[in-house]
């Protein structure tokens, strides 16, 4: 095990709690920040988070607080695990007390809808004095919290920093690969959410596993081409945070995006569901593809369906009637 570290984890949802659990089990001194008092009480008193990770026991050493500033007391690094659409608000809250030089690991996947920026760009604008890294890859919170084997990627511009952070956060069942390709890791994590909506819709329409495989494969072509246009490295997109995360997210109801797409495919009332991150990202991803001259019919179709400009059935017919082409064109 690496040297014991003091780690703040900001975000008491499923993923934040899972990452805090792993870090605590690895022997680190971890404080989990959650806005909800009931979550804080549950973590501290019954060592569970029934609202977000039901049935998973948490380490007794893990402590929680609803005081944001106190969560950072003595912290040597922080994991930021809040939704992409609220990340800027949090970053502005941190400005008044966050010590310069404290490494921040951004662990949410998405694109800020109002600006089209990835998480690292948002935080760099608000907190320019903080070293930044991003963590992403094929992982479900319940799997990680239960100690099931998982592998993800952590990227920072300074590869020595990514090496150090990966060593601190890795454990017996969580293997973290270091990278310097922040754009690639973030692009894969955000774009796969949009494609998972499409895969879920296909499953919800009972169109069969062959159609699902086609969506994943052709969707990955769009992810790779758009990711490369944004500056990502091909090998990153072919790795855990790109192809790996796409395959996982497009094949399980544990994925909120896949489940949301499946409900859409079944014609259910979506207003009763918690909004999936891919819903926010779809229109931005489609716009980025157009801006870069990337043909992305699946991403564009998802955006059109969500915006209500085309029905799901008409969208499927339109995709199937596209002119034939060579696979590599």
- DSSP class of residue 3 equals P
Distance (Å, rounded) from C-alpha 292 to C-alpha 296?
Answer: 11
Q: Please tell me the distance from the alpha carbon of residue 301 to that of residue 260, in angstroms, as a whole number.
A: 16
- CA distances 159 to 2, 241, 323, Å, are 18, 17, 44
Residue 266: strand pairing partners:
none
Beta partners for 150?
174
Which of the residues 95, 109, 113, 192 is marked catalytic? 192
CA–CA separation, 283 and 304 (whole Å): 8
Query: Residue 131 burial (CB < 10 Å; 0-12/13-18/19+)?
Result: middle
Task: List Cβ<8 Å contacts ≥24 apart for 160-166.
Answer: 161/103, 161/131, 161/133, 162/133, 165/77, 165/103, 165/105, 165/133
Token pair of 152 as six digits: 């993800």
Please give the structure tokens belonging to residue 143. 């799997």
Pairing of strands 132-136, 150-155: antiparallel
Is residue 192 flagged as an active site residue?
yes
**Distance of alpha carbon 239 from alpha carbon 153, whole angstroms:** 9
Residue 44 is encoded by which pair of tokens?
């501290």
* Buried residues in 143-167 as b, exposed as e (16+ CB within 10 A): bbbbeeebbbbbbbeeeebbbbbbe
Residue 32, helix vs strand vs coil: strand
**Catalytic annotation, residues:** 192
């Amino acid at each position: 095990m690496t040297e014991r570290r003091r780690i703040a984890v900001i975000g008491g949802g499923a993923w934040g709690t899972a990452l805090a659990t792993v870090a605590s089990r690895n022997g680190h001194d971890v404080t989990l920040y959650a806005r909800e008092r009931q979550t804080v009480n549950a973590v501290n008193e019954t060592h569970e988070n029934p609202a977000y990770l039901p049935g998973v026991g948490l380490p007794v050493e893990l402590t929680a607080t609803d005081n944001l500033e106190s969560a950072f007391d003595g912290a040597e690094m922080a994991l930021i695990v809040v939704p992409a659409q609220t990340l800027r608000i949090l970053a502005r809250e941190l400005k008044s007390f966050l010590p310069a030089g404290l490494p921040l690991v951004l662990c949410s996947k998405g694109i800020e809808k109002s600006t089209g920026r990835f998480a690292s760009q948002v935080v760099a604008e608000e907190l320019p004095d903080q070293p930044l890294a991003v963590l992403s890859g094929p992982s479900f919170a319940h799997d990680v919290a239960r100690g099931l084997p998982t592998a993800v990627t952590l990227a920072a511009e300074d590869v020595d920093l990514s090496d150090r952070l990966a060593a601190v956060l890795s454990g017996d069942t969580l293997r973290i690969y270091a990278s310097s390709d922040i754009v690639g890791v973030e692009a894969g994590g955000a774009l796969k959410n949009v494609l998972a909506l499409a895969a879920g819709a296909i499953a919800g329409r009972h169109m069969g596993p062959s159609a699902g495989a086609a969506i994943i494969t052709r969707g990955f072509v769009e992810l790779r081409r758009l990711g490369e246009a944004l500056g990502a490295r091909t090998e990153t997109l072919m790795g855990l945070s790109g192809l790996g995360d796409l395959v996982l997210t497009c094949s399980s109801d544990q994925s909120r995006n896949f489940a949301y797409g499946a409900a859409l495919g079944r014609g259910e009332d979506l207003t009763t569901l918690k909004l999936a991150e891919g819903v926010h990202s779809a229109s931005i991803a489609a716009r980025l593809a157009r801006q870069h001259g990337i043909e992305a019919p699946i991403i564009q179709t998802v955006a059109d369906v969500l915006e209500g400009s085309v029905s799901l059935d008409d969208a499927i017919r339109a995709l199937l009637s596209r002119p034939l082409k060579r696979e590599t064109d």
